[in-house]
Chains A and B, each alone.
Chain A
Amino acid sequence: AQTVTQSQPEMSVQEAETVTLSCTYDTSESDYYLFWYKQPPSRQMILVIRQEAYKQQNATENRFSVNFQKAAKSFSLKISDSQLGDAAMYFCALETSGSRLTFGEGTQLTVNP
Chain B
Amino acid sequence: EAEVAQSPRYKITEKSQAVAFWCDPISGHATLYWYRQILGQGPELLVQFQDESVVDDSQLPKDRFSAERLKGVDSTLKIQPAELGDSAMYLCASGLFGRQRGELFFGEGSRLTVL
Instruction: With both chains docked as a complex, state the minimum distance between the C-beta of B30 and any C-beta of chain A, in angstroms.
Output: 10
Which A residues are CB-close (under 8 A) to B25?
none
Instruction: With both chains docked as a complex, state the minimum distance between the C-beta of B87 and any C-beta of chain A, in angstroms.
Output: 17
By secondary structure, the A interface counts as: strand
Q: Is B109 touching A105 in the complex (CB atoms < 8 A)?
A: no
Interface footprint category on A? 20 to 34
Q: Is A105 touching B41 in the complex (CB atoms < 8 A)?
A: yes
Instruction: With both chains docked as a complex, state the minimum distance between the C-beta of B47 and any C-beta of chain A, in angstroms.
Output: 11
CA of A45 to CA of B94, assembled, Å: 12
Contact of A99 among B4, B97, B109 (CB under 8 A): B97
Q: Is B106 touching A46 in the complex (CB atoms < 8 A)?
A: yes
Residues of A within 8 A of B (CB): 4, 6, 33, 35, 43-47, 50, 91, 93, 95, 98-106
Residues of B within 8 A of A (CB): 4, 31, 33, 35, 40-45, 48, 50, 55-56, 91, 93, 95, 97-98, 101-104, 106-109
